């Protein structure tokens, strides 16, 4: 008999060799990491959201109410016993056994067939789901001093539950086990190499890579709609896009994007670019590109963003086109700034230069602003301000992590599984490249925004916010407004956006789009995706509005165009960027958008 081992017999040996190699490197990295953290991380930076305090409160409560914990444990034990009995029956060949618990149909984690067909993995899956529900209920039943603290407890508990999913561990994920056997453990070695790639020893920060950053570049294969930068100051570049029609609507259109992310979410690729679609419809489109701030810009506050940003851009668009009236669009926090700007113009009796305004997933009333409020309270604000005082800005990665935590299974753990357990490189995806193209937030502006809007909801209180020596009153905004919200938006919940109709006094059209904060906005008609709801009535209650709304298939862009074109004036000869009083400085997308901080 030959002493040569078969390929199958070599698999365990090769797996062990690869795992041993990976473990040795991991131990060295862990040792170095812990030493660095001891020297680098302060108490604030190690627990900026006070998760430790929240978990300590949970322990204290059940330590003083053991009877409630025993009762809940008995319920869990009974469910476990039912699960064990069902598992035993299945092992004996009984195919009629129904699961004790099923995951949410939208939960993608357990889509692999092994989670249903393999008895062991089915048992693991149901055990996890039972324990998750038990823990979530146990935390939710704890009395809290206020709804904010209760929401924090529930949110952080969900983060823990998501982190402990069996799909996140190599030995309890059937897809990873299959990959490990097929590759003889090379996936784990490659996964560790990916860990080393994503860890920055200089900063001590770890960034889970979502896409191949080398595959994209603004101006080369994203943000490619032709145009020119026609104005630049210390905060903005103003881009005017080249016409694609012989004639354009007389009134130009200025877009104010958020400065939390870069503007090219509205101009990713030609087929899904809102900017390109608008130029094809005959609009004369301008957009603000915000500068990615450094420490020297620390003292620029919300009023400065209005003065150097929206107010300046409005003047420059009028100057470039020779028009006395323009139309405006604001997206997310860019819309909040635009609403503040319109209130400022109204107070100065100069709102007549804006004919109409569109607000995309924009909040002005933050009384029910969703899960982001979990990250904003007096304690967390104090700690955040200390960190921003030291650096002069809030690092973009911090804000990105916050948004990712709102959908941790999709935006964190799925990439952990793909990159580190399966050992695969992330797929090149333009949207995820944009999502990782972080922007910093100036200390003064971010602190003012969180305090005035999220903590105190002052924007909807006439006169409570004063920008550039001007008290703001949103009810003085009497121009026509088109207000768009997105049904599953987890950043600007649609019912919160609906409250915009309470505070603007002019004619209003509210439209609810399918999907979320990004896909609900960037949804070209050619995609034939999602739907949208329309209702000409605007009752006080958002739920009542939806009950009376009519669902329409596909994108909302055409509905907006029908509304906007009637307010954009007659057609005139197309405007060429740089041919007017403001000369071209450089090609779009400009210079500011290319500044990246890692």
Give the whole-angstrom CA distance, residue 287 versus residue 518: 18
CA distances from 281 to 272, 364, 480 (A): 14, 29, 21
What is the 3 state secondary structure string of 436-480?
HCCCCEEHHHHHHHHHHHHHCCHHHCCCCCEECCEECCHHHCCCC
Q: How many CB atoms lie within 10 A of CB 263?
A: 27
Give the whole-angstrom CA distance, residue 266 versus residue 519: 11
DSSP 538: -
Give the whole-angstrom CA distance, residue 546 versus residue 538: 10
Rg (CA), the chain: 27
**Catalytic residue (one of 332, 356, 445, 492):** 332
Residue 35 CB contacts under 8 Å (≥ 6 apart), including other chains: none
Tell me, yes or no, if 332 is annotated catalytic: yes
Give the whole-angstrom CA distance, residue 380 versus residue 114: 43
Q: How many CB atoms lie within 10 A of CB 367?
A: 10
Q: CB of 223 within 8 A of CB of 437?
A: no
Three-state DSSP at 583 gives: coil
Q: How far is CA 105 from the centre of its chain?
A: 23
> H or E segment at 229?
strand 227-232
Give the whole-angstrom CA distance, residue 5 versus residue 163: 40
Prior bond of 277 cis (ω within 30°): no
For residue 483, list its beta bridge partners: 359, 510
For residue 509, list its beta bridge partners: 482
End-to-end CA distance of the chain: 59
DSSP 428: P
CA distances from 16 to 22, 27, 30 (A): 10, 16, 20
Give the whole-angstrom CA distance, residue 552 versus residue 565: 20
Show which residues are catalytic: 332
């Amino acid at each position: 008999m030959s002493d040569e081992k078969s390929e199958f017999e070599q698999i365990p040996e090769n797996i062990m060799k690869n795992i041993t190699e990976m473990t040795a490197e991991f131990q060295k990295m862990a040792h170095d990491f812990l030493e660095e953290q001891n020297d680098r991380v302060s108490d604030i930076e190690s627990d900026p959201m006070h998760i430790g305090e929240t978990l300590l409160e949970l322990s204290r409560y059940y330590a003083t109410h053991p009877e409630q914990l025993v009762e809940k444990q008995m319920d869990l034990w009974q469910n476990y016993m039912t699960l064990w009995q069902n598992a035993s029956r299945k092992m004996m060949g009984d195919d009629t056994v129904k699961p004790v618990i099923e995951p949410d149909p939208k939960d993608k984690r357990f889509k692999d067939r092994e989670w249903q067909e393999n008895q062991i993995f089915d048992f693991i899956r149901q055990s996890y789901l039972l324990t998750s529900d038990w823990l979530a209920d146990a935390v939710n039943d704890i009395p809290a001093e206020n709804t904010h603290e209760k929401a924090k407890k529930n949110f952080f508990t969900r983060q823990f539950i998501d982190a402990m999913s069996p799909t996140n561990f190599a030995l309890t994920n059937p897809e990873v086990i299959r990959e490990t056997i097929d590759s003889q453990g090379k996936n784990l070695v490659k996964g560790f190499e990916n860990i080393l790639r994503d860890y920055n020893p200089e900063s001590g920060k770890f960034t889970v890579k979502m896409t191949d950053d080398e595959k994209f570049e603004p101006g080369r294969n994203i943000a490619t709609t032709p145009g020119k930068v026609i104005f630049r100051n210390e905060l903005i570049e103003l881009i005017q896009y080249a016409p694609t029609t012989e004639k354009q609507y007389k009134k130009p259109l200025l877009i104010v994007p958020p400065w939390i992310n870069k503007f090219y979410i509205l101009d990713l690729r030609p087929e899904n670019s809102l900017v390109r679609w608008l130029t094809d419809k005959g609009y004369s489109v301008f957009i603000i590109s915000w500068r990615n701030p450094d420490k020297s810009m620390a003292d620029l506050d919300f009023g400065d963003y209005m003065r150097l940003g929206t107010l300046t851009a409005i003047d420059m668009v009028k100057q470039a086109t020779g028009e006395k009236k323009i139309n405006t669009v604001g997206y997310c926090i860019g819309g909040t700034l635009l609403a503040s700007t319109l209130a400022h113009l109204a107070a100065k009796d100069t709102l007549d230069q804006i004919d109409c305004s569109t607000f995309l997933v924009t909040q002005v009333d933050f009384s029910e602003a969703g899960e982001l409020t979990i990250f904003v309270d007096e304690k967390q604000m104090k700690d955040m301000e200390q960190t921003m005082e030291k650096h002069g800005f809030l690092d973009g990665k911090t804000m990105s992590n916050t948004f990712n935590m709102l959908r941790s299974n999709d935006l964190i753990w799925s990439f952990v599984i793909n990159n580190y357990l399966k050992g695969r490189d992330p797929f090149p995806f333009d949207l995820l490249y944009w999502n990782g193209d972080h922007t910093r937030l100036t200390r003064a502006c971010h602190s003012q925004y969180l305090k005035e809007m999220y903590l105190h909801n002052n924007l909807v209180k006439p006169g409570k916010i004063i920008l550039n020596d001007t008290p703001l009153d949103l009810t003085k905004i009497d121009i026509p407004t088109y207000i768009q919200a997105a049904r599953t938006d987890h950043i600007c919940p649609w019912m919160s956006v609906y409250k915009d109709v309470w505070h603007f006094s002019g004619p209003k059209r509210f439209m609810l789009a399918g999907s979320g904060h990004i896909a609900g906005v960037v949804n070209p008609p050619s995609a034939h995706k999602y739907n949208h709801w329309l209702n000409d009535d605007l009752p006080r209650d958002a739920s009542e509005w939806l009950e009376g709304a009519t669902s329409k298939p596909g994108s909302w862009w055409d509905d907006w165009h029908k509304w906007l074109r009637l307010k954009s004036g007659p057609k005139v000869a197309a405007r060429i960027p740089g041919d007017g009083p403001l000369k071209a400085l450089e090609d779009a997308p400009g210079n500011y958008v290319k500044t990246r901080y890692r």
